């Protein structure tokens, strides 16, 4: 434990780390912990799976233990914001493992659970509150939580919070916090919006960068298969069948697509479950628990629902659909190669997804190895209407039952024929721009507010 001891942590924390099986700090922990202990604001750039929770959690706990005052009623001494319920729960579990023998009180407030129970739990005050922005705003509006005595703020996976439309919630929360506070911001990517967020809420921050923004972990072997949308499901089944004992995470773009793909896999003898925005919190928790224990071997997920999954045994990530936002690719494949292990990321690219692939390669600065098929070889300017979508529309027949992901009709077609008969089975009717698989895009005017409250 000499390495952790060199970071300035107390014997009490060192014993707790030893009991939890921590041997030596990760690069992000070694760089961030001393800076946080010294009281600096911090901007941490690191991929998921690099030990970020301990990087901010350990020094935060150290500072709270050094000043053992009891929190005021309906208040919290430290606030940690996370984009999703799963990540918030994961952070809480990690923090509680560090404070088993202390009197620090840690609470979690997320959507999908009884707000009345959360109000009662917060009444006596907490040392650390882990929250999703949407539920925290609900509690603030009910006067159930007061942030005037909160002197530590952590924004974890800030890029994802912006992607989910939480910027207005963050502004509202920040206004309720005291100006004199220590703020820590962690992000896997560094878009201009995050730079702006850092300038607004951080004061002379120490910048800690472990992996360059947008770069995937070195131990992830990445490959792409060029394949028609119709043929994706058969190729996925082939690959999963070759590795039945592995833990595999499969990403779909939409909630409907994730559920349909999962049911098709189960019908074909695969051990699979799904998590997405249409699942209750209990269903999502159960699926993750069974996946983590190995009771199921395949988890089909949307981008948002998969945030917070921290399972070292995931060996393969399959991108059944490419993400609309290239940064989401980095987050997706970061679900494998956890804790120093090696992993593989396999992407299935249909003809109308080649621009998304180019955007991903531009962001990551690499050319993903081609493992199968041939690149369509056309430019965006030579595509037909709809950017190449529906190219197989005249190839005959409907989609085989249970095979998700058939190319959707263009936006213009959807507008011209909004309600013409029953939609063919398996076609969700969602625009491709639905975004991260969490909602159809047919309700754009209230998209952001719905996402915020959903957390």
Each residue's pLDDT tens digit in the chain (455 positions)? 448 888 989 888 998 888 888 888 988 999 999 999 999 999 998 877 778 999 999 999 999 999 888 999 999 999 999 998 889 999 999 999 998 878 899 999 999 899 999 999 999 999 999 999 999 999 999 999 999 999 999 999 998 898 888 989 999 999 999 999 999 999 887 878 888 889 999 999 999 987 655 555 667 899 999 999 999 999 999 999 999 889 999 999 999 999 999 999 999 999 999 999 888 878 988 999 899 899 999 999 998 777 767 787 899 999 999 998 888 898 899 888 776 678 999 999 999 999 999 999 998 888 999 999 887 653 333 333 333 333 333 333 333 334 444 444 334 444 444 444 444 444 444 433 333 333 333 443 434 444 444 44
Question: Residue 119 corresponds to which tokens in the numbers above?
Answer: 């109000």
HSE, CB side, 13 Å, CA atoms: give it for residue 273: 20
Q: Is 182 left (phi over 0), alpha (psi -120 to 50) or beta?
A: beta
The answer to whether domain 2-209 and domain 220-390+400-412+425-440 are alike in fold is: yes
Domain ranges for the chain, please list them.
2-209, 220-390+400-412+425-440
Q: Which fold has domain 2-209?
A: Rossmann fold (3.40.50)
**Residue 221: burial class (beta carbons within 10 Å; 0-12, 13-18, 19+):** middle
Question: Are 328 and 191 contacting, i.e. CB atoms less than 8 angstroms apart?
Answer: no
Rounded distance between C-alpha atoms, residue 155 and residue 133, angstroms: 10
Long-range contacts of 190-199 (CB under 8 A, 24+ apart): 190/45, 190/159, 190/214, 191/159, 191/162, 191/327, 193/159, 193/162, 193/167, 194/158, 194/159, 194/162, 197/155, 197/158, 197/162, 197/167, 197/170, 198/43
Placement of tokens 């995937």 in the chain = 216
Rounded distance between C-alpha atoms, residue 236 and residue 403, angstroms: 11
Q: Which fold has domain 220-390+400-412+425-440?
A: Rossmann fold (3.40.50)
Question: Residue 312 corresponds to which tokens in the numbers above?
Answer: 């070292």
């Amino acid at each position: 434990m000499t390495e952790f001891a060199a970071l300035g942590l107390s014997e009490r924390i060192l014993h707790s780390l030893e009991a939890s099986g921590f041997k030596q700090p990760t690069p992000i922990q070694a760089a961030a912990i001393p800076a946080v202990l010294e009281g600096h604001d911090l901007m941490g750039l690191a991929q998921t799976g690099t030990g970020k929770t301990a990087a901010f959690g350990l020094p935060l706990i150290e500072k709270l233990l050094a000043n053992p005052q009891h929190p005021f009623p309906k208040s919290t001494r430290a606030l940690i914001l996370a984009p999703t319920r799963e990540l918030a729960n994961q952070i809480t579990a990690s923090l509680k493992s560090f404070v088993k023998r202390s009197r620090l009180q840690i609470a979690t407030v997320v959507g999908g659970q009884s707000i009345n129970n959360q109000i009662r739990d917060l009444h006596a005050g907490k040392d650390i509150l882990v929250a999703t922005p949407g539920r925290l705003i609900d509690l603030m509006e009910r006067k159930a939580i007061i942030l005037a005595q909160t002197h530590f703020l952590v924004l974890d996976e800030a890029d994802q919070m912006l992607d989910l439309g939480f910027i207005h919630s963050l502004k509202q929360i920040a206004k309720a916090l005291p100006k004199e506070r220590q703020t820590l911001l962690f992000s896997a990517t560094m878009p201009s919006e995050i730079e702006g967020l850092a300038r607004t809420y951080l004061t002379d921050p120490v910048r800690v960068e472990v992996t360059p923004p947008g770069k995937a972990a070195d131990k992830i072997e990445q490959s792409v298969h060029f394949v028609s949308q119709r043929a994706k499901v058969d190729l996925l089944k082939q690959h999963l069948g070759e590795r039945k004992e592995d833990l595999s995470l499969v990403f779909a773009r939409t909630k409907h697509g994730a559920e349909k793909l999962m049911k098709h896999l189960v019908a074909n003898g695969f051990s699979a479950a799904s998590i997405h925005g249409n699942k209750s919190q209990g269903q999502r928790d159960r699926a993750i628990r069974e996946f983590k224990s190995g009771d199921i071997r395949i988890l089909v997920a949307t981008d948002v629902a998969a945030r917070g999954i921290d399972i070292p045994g995931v060996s393969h990530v399959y991108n059944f659909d490419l993400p609309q936002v290239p940064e989401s690719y980095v987050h997706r494949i970061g679900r494998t190669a956890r804790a120093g292990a090696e992993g593989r990321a396999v992407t299935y690219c249909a003809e109308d997804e080649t621009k998304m692939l180019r955007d991903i390669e531009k962001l990551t600065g690499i050319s993903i190895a081609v493992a199968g098929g041939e690149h369509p070889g056309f430019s965006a300017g030579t595509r037909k209407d709809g950017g190449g979508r529906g190219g197989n529309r005249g190839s005959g027949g409907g989609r085989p039952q249970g095979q998700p992901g058939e190319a959707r009709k263009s936006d213009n077609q959807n507008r011209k024929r909004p309600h013409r008969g029953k939609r063919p089975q398996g076609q969700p009717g969602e625009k491709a721009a639905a975004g991260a698989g969490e909602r159809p895009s047919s309700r754009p005017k209230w998209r952001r507010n719905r996402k915020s409250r959903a957390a």
